[in-house]
Structure 1
Amino acid sequence: MSLRTNKDGNNHSEGNPDWNTWVPAITSFILLMAGIALDNWIKPIWFSGWTRLVFYIIAYMPVGLPVVIKGIKTAIKGDVFTEFFLMSIATIGAFYVGEYPEGVAVMLFYSVGELFQEAAVKRVKRSIKALLDVRPDSADVLRNDTYISVDPTTVQIGETIQVKAGERVPLDGEMLSAGSAFNTSALTGESKPSTFTKGETVLAGMINQEKVVELKVTKLFNDSSLARILTLVQDATTRKAKTEQFIRKFARVYTPIVVFLAIGITLIPYFFVGNYVFNDWLYRALIFLVISCPCALVISIPLGYFGGIGAASRNGILFKGSNYLDLMTKINQVVMDKTGTLTKAVFKVQEVESYDMSKEQWLPLAAALEAKSTHPVAKAVVEYAGNSWDNIKVNALEEISGHGLKGEVNGKEVLAGNVKLMDRMGVSVNDGLRKIVDTIVIVAIDRKLAGYLTIADEIKEDSKQAVDALHKLNVKTTMLSGDKQAVVDKVARLLGIDKAYGDLLPENKVQRVESIKQDKMNVVAFVGDGINDAPVLALSDVGIAMGGLGSDAAIETADVIIQTDHPSKIATAISIGKATNRIVWQNIGLAFGVKLIVLILGAGGLATMWEAVFADVGVAMLAILNAVRIQRMKF
């Protein structure tokens, strides 16, 4: 079956239903029913011979002529063996042997199947369109001291826009107002509103729920997170799963074989059957052709994967292709970053201790240094220090990956980092500091210990639930972190994670994942923030970005993007992949099973064209309904 298009070349399934598409099928159905009534009950004298033939040709034309024309057009282009070709031969052949009602019925049910398919595709697309159709057509931008409504594509970075209560945010921007609550469900799948305050980033597609706010535009319309998501979801349908690719290749080989077998069923019995009647064997071959049409497979399998992508989108999970839905079913190892994935990455200073200098002397210097970093730990130090570092300049800043920061502040060398940084720079650290479990920022001035801060990160509410759900799916869990091993062990113990490794640099994380992948039985998913963990995301079998909505690196590197910060969505993504895979194989089994049975019956003369119609169109419709079922599932 194929998607029918309107004059503009657009699928009816993508817009509102066009009832005109049902007129040909309804017309043919009424005429077919009238013909069957005239044949079996009314039986007028005039309804015979040429009159009867012309009547059924008229009934055939509304549904049959478009298919025959398509078959001719595709044949002229060199693609002879299509479903249009099979249906045209089968129905025209039915007319040749005098089975007029059956010829009309086959084409009628084929056309009805197409219409149901269009409806099914539209239903599957609905959840994706709910995600995509959220970009406003206008934006209120501040120009010449007044707000004017303009096309969002004309708004430049740095301009100020206004969003009223109940309106969608047209472009990504930084909050200039004090704050407001936003409905983020179109982007994250979360129904609970989120509050954004001054300085935080609000994304296009979110709905302002409280009061008028002003935003400073940070990205152009086509570069917004929503635009990237739109492109990602649209591109997802172009990356096919292996099963889908195989079925398409199979159909190209299978269809010509079926045609030649049908020719064999018609002609070969002439040499072996004593009372050979050409029309009888031709009728069997026509039944064989109708049964053999690969519609159920060619349509329902892509529809199944498309349904899986739609169901995932509705749950705030973006798959970059149906191939990743398949891969999710094979995952038996999930490796997770700690900070920002299992924890909130909202660090708070817990304890501050000083040595030879007072806190008021060394903390502003450390905060000035940390202000140059975007790391969550650095932000916690800066927040704790307040405005004490505002007028302090930093020179010769050096960020030492996995260790900390080094720079010149007010003419002094300042170090701010972990124990490894102090050891590397030759700063003496006592055993007491080495035994502290929480994250620690040690500060040294001119290679002398000045003080330290301990910082704690809160575990996310659903992290324990996420690990438990993965274990129920027989998936082993591993946690990697740059934090101290003691901190990592503490978190792993609380969450029930199988293995945990701390004190890791980014390259060490790559080595750990490589070591897990050395066992060819392991299919590994890595879950990280998509920025610092980009190399590991690329290395894993499936890279999953957590909360990667605003991250270019996450969108580009990851295969699956969880739009919320909820690790429990990892198990949801696996469950959706397994449900999709299960439905696809159910459809394959249903199609092959029924077709094989009716093929054998048809070749033996025990099945009529009516059974053939069920084996083709009936099975296709059942498979389509089964594929749509994933939209109703709760994950």
Structure 2
Amino acid sequence: MIHQDKEIKHTKNKNKSSCCSHDESEKADNDGHDHGHDHDHEHIAEGSLFKMFLPAILSFILMLIAIGFDNYFPQTWFNGYVRITWYIIAYLPVGIPVLREAYESILKGDVFSEFFLMCIATIGAFAIGEYPEGVAVMLFYTIGETFQGMAVSKAKSNIKTLLDQRPDEVTILENNIAVKVKAVDAKIGAVIQLKAGEKLGLDGELLSDSASFNTAALTGESKPDTKKKGQTVLAGMINGNTIAQVKVTTAYNDSKLSKILELVQNAASKKAPAELFIRKFAKIYTPIVVYLAIAICLVPMLFVDNYVFNDWLYRALVFLVISCPCALVISIPLGYFGGIGAASKNGILFKGSNFLDSISTIQNVVMDKTGTMTEGVFKVQEVMINPDFDKDEILKLVNALESQSTHPVATAIHNHVGPVDSSVELKNVEEISGHGLKALIDGKELHVGNFKLLDKFNIAYDLDPGSIVYTTIAIAYNGKFAGYLTIADEIKNDAQETVSKLKALGVKLTMLSGDKSNVVQFVADKLGITKAFGDLLPEDKVNKVNEIKAQNETIAFVGDGVNDAPVIALSTVGIAMGGLGSDAAIETADIVIQDDKPSKIAMAINIGKQTKKIVWQNITLAFVVKAFVLILGAGGLATMWEAVFADVGVALLAILNAVRIQKMKF
């Protein structure tokens, strides 16, 4: 970049494929979000615009005075070397940074950078005596690049401000005395005291009986969320109107918000096809136009009788200015970054711009049931224990075993039975994927899971599981069927809206679940989903998704559990519910929905479609205008002024169009 502000320079280098190699650009992508640049963003926001534009202002004033002396207020002394020197001085404030960038690019092996193009064009203008135009081209180029850098910097800053809501310090209770410590130094197990209106700095478990939190930093919505004692609260949440105490359960750098920041910060490293195309295009396109410019200047001497070198050199220089690909290589990444920012603002996190493209073409949304379309908050409805067993004893053992699981069903059992009895000694605890848990207690085997678990271990039972509508947890102890629990889950408030919006987008819907088929079908019928399959093991889900893919359909799979990770990875686009979702699902997913609202699926698709639309509008605008003015320039019908518009003007229009997506409502 051509300015003194390091962040703007860095942003420029990051987004311009024509001035750095692919590897260097990737490195810049990763470095560009480093926390060390926070002060640069603040610096811009606090009013350093004058400093940023000072070189351009100086050049502009000197150029205006010179043009005035040339055309309106002739001075006898303003000619010859004095006139040339004046224009050179006007050129230097905006020209030196570009000359330096061109030199550095050449040293890196990238000769045909846009900096090199601008240097050739403006120095060439001086060589043929077109001093005002030489200064003007560099001046307007500088102004355009400053605005471009500001736009990218602002987009980054907006996302970071939106997400990084953690306070630098937290109040820790030590022997009932409040002590301020740096959030990064707070230890797991420490108790944070949150005053009304304070932001939580780390993830933790609520110790107070209840508290209301503003979750906008994580979900994009400021609607209060009431948490009960023992529930998880996350960094970035703002406490309501009562004092609350929270026990730290996760280190500062491992918090959900840290992971979200990392996801968004690394998003730039995963390029959309259009971005990759423009990168490759610019590397081929720029050398070609340089050679064409040379041809425009020299070849006509072989065919034109009244050939004038200066005239054809001027045409070649105009051609070079017009050909600068900055409108494409800056506005396209900015368009995708705008899409990522708009999604983040609404609690949807894209791990790369390529997924914005992918989700815009989704034909079939395949979804899990529990935690995706239903609340994932189960309640025990009935307890049926065989009279041959002690009901309280069995529930105590079941509660102890389920304490080894993070599944919502385990939470429901814990809430129903109460605290885990520490006297129960579990040995050889094993989780059998898609079935349940088993363990040894006093030398006897305890099995807790679905009826397929009992079938697997040849444990007989005297009932038809299909006759029970609710989710059923079967229990076997010492090789005998001990009874079952029924657990009910509620459909999410926006689940019906989700189905309607997806159908309106022309997207097919399929529900896959490990829950009982009759429960899955009951939920699907209620929501209007025609294809629904239950009693599926993780490998069964994989097979179903492969069947859909075999029909050449693009698939988005939405899930939240560990067992959903394989199908999330297999699908065209994997979407994880970030609130209730397991770390495995979130890590594997391409998109994370922070507030667990399924209605955000349709929103994500719309954001992808709008982003792609804006990007292709910019590509079309740049190509059409440049092609038109290039033809005029080659024919001698366009001056440097038209060239400046075709380059800087189109770039600014494309940028304004790109940032528009962050203002849209979805």
TM-score band (shorter)?
A: over 0.9
2:372 aligned residue (341, 345, 348): 341
2:328 aligned residue (297, 300, 318): 297
Q: Does 1:435 align with 2:462?
A: no
Question: CA 1:248–1:13 in structure 2 vs 1: closer, same or farther (change >3 Å)?
Answer: farther
Q: CA deviation at 1:548?
A: 4.7
Q: Does 1:599 align with 2:634?
A: no
Q: Does 1:487 align with 2:514?
A: no
State the AA in 1 paired with 2:152.
V
Distance (Å, rounded) in 1 between the aligned partners of 2:567 and 2:320: 51
Distance (Å, rounded) in 2 between the aligned partners of 1:380 and 1:222: 30
Distance (Å, rounded) in 2 between the aligned partners of 1:74 and 1:549: 48
Q: CA deviation at 1:446?
A: 4.4
Q: Does 1:456 align with 2:456?
A: no
Distance (Å, rounded) in 2 between the aligned partners of 1:373 and 1:133: 31
Question: CA 1:364–1:13 in structure 2 vs 1: closer, same or farther (change >3 Å)?
Answer: closer
Aligned length: 634
1:35 aligned residue (66, 87, 95): 66
Tell me which residue corresponds to 2:143: 112
TM-score by length of 2: 0.90
Question: CA 1:288–1:387 in structure 2 vs 1: closer, same or farther (change >3 Å)?
Answer: closer
1:239–1:321 CA contact under 8 A, matched in 2: yes
State the AA in 2 paired with 1:16.
H
2:235–2:255 CA contact under 8 A, matched in 1: yes
Distance (Å, rounded) in 1 between the aligned partners of 2:418 and 2:6: 63
Q: Does 1:375 align with 2:410?
A: no
Q: Does 1:224 align with 2:255?
A: yes
Q: Does 1:153 align with 2:180?
A: no
Q: CA deviation at 1:152?
A: 2.0
Question: CA 1:366–1:37 in structure 2 vs 1: closer, same or farther (change >3 Å)?
Answer: same
Alignment of 1:552-563 (within 5 A): 552-563=583-594
Distance (Å, rounded) in 2 between the aligned partners of 1:353 and 1:137: 52
Alignment of 1:205-354 (within 5 A): 205-354=236-385
Q: Does 1:14 align with 2:41?
A: yes
Q: Secondary structure at the match of 1:15?
A: helix
Q: Does 1:621 align with 2:652?
A: yes
RMSD over aligned Cα atoms: 2.4
Tell me which residue corresponds to 2:534: 502
Deviations 1:134-160 (A, max 9, x none): 222212223455322122222222222
2:513–2:535 CA contact under 8 A, matched in 1: yes
Question: CA 1:209–1:466 in structure 2 vs 1: closer, same or farther (change >3 Å)?
Answer: same
Question: CA 1:3–1:543 in structure 2 vs 1: closer, same or farther (change >3 Å)?
Answer: farther
Distance (Å, rounded) in 1 between the aligned partners of 2:522 and 2:537: 19
Q: CA deviation at 1:119?
A: 2.2
Q: CA deviation at 1:430?
A: 4.3
Q: Secondary structure at the match of 1:42?
A: coil
1:530–1:548 CA contact under 8 A, matched in 2: no
Distance (Å, rounded) in 2 between the aligned partners of 1:7 and 1:173: 35
State the AA in 2 paired with 1:6.
K
Q: Secondary structure at the match of 2:173?
A: strand
Sequence identity percentage: 61
The farther-off stretch of 165-174 and 284-293 is 165-174
Question: CA 1:215–1:627 in structure 2 vs 1: closer, same or farther (change >3 Å)?
Answer: same
Q: Does 1:135 align with 2:166?
A: yes
Q: CA deviation at 1:522?
A: 1.4
Distance (Å, rounded) in 1 between the aligned partners of 2:2 and 2:358: 28
Question: CA 1:361–1:168 in structure 2 vs 1: closer, same or farther (change >3 Å)?
Answer: closer
1:335–1:480 CA contact under 8 A, matched in 2: yes
Unaligned 5+ segments in structure 2 are 12-38
2:186–2:252 CA contact under 8 A, matched in 1: yes
2:580–2:596 CA contact under 8 A, matched in 1: no
TM-score by length of 1: 0.94
Distance (Å, rounded) in 2 between the aligned partners of 1:88 and 1:80: 12
Q: CA deviation at 1:449?
A: 4.3
Question: CA 1:557–1:610 in structure 2 vs 1: closer, same or farther (change >3 Å)?
Answer: same
Distance (Å, rounded) in 2 between the aligned partners of 1:4 and 1:528: 47
1:511 aligned residue (539, 543, 567): 543
State the AA in 2 paired with 1:222.
N
Q: CA deviation at 1:359?
A: 4.5
Tell me which residue corresponds to 2:451: 419
Distance (Å, rounded) in 2 between the aligned partners of 1:47 and 1:379: 86
Q: Does 1:538 align with 2:569?
A: yes
Distance (Å, rounded) in 1 between the aligned partners of 2:356 and 2:210: 38
Deviations 1:76-117 (A, max 9, x none): 332211111111111111122222221111111101101111
Deviations 1:256-302 (A, max 9, x none): 11111101000000000011000010010011000000110111111
1:577 aligned residue (603, 608, 612): 608
Q: CA deviation at 1:444?
A: 4.0
Tell me which residue corresponds to 2:127: 96
2:326–2:651 CA contact under 8 A, matched in 1: yes
Q: Secondary structure at the match of 1:79?
A: coil
Q: Secondary structure at the match of 2:514?
A: coil
Question: CA 1:320–1:433 in structure 2 vs 1: closer, same or farther (change >3 Å)?
Answer: closer
Question: CA 1:195–1:447 in structure 2 vs 1: closer, same or farther (change >3 Å)?
Answer: same
Distance (Å, rounded) in 1 between the aligned partners of 2:532 and 2:8: 57
2:8–2:146 CA contact under 8 A, matched in 1: no
1:61 aligned residue (81, 92, 114): 92
Q: CA deviation at 1:435?
A: 1.6
Alignment of 1:152-171 (within 5 A): 152-171=183-202
Q: Secondary structure at the match of 1:343?
A: coil
Deviations 1:300-347 (A, max 9, x none): 111111111111111111111111111111211211111101101111
2:466–2:518 CA contact under 8 A, matched in 1: no
1:251–1:294 CA contact under 8 A, matched in 2: yes
1:480–1:501 CA contact under 8 A, matched in 2: yes
The farther-off stretch of 100-109 and 34-43 is 34-43
Q: Secondary structure at the match of 2:236?
A: coil
Question: CA 1:308–1:263 in structure 2 vs 1: closer, same or farther (change >3 Å)?
Answer: same
Distance (Å, rounded) in 1 between the aligned partners of 2:403 and 2:561: 22
Question: CA 1:464–1:625 in structure 2 vs 1: closer, same or farther (change >3 Å)?
Answer: same
The farther-off stretch of 399-408 and 124-133 is 399-408
Unaligned 5+ segments in structure 1 are none
1:312–1:573 CA contact under 8 A, matched in 2: yes
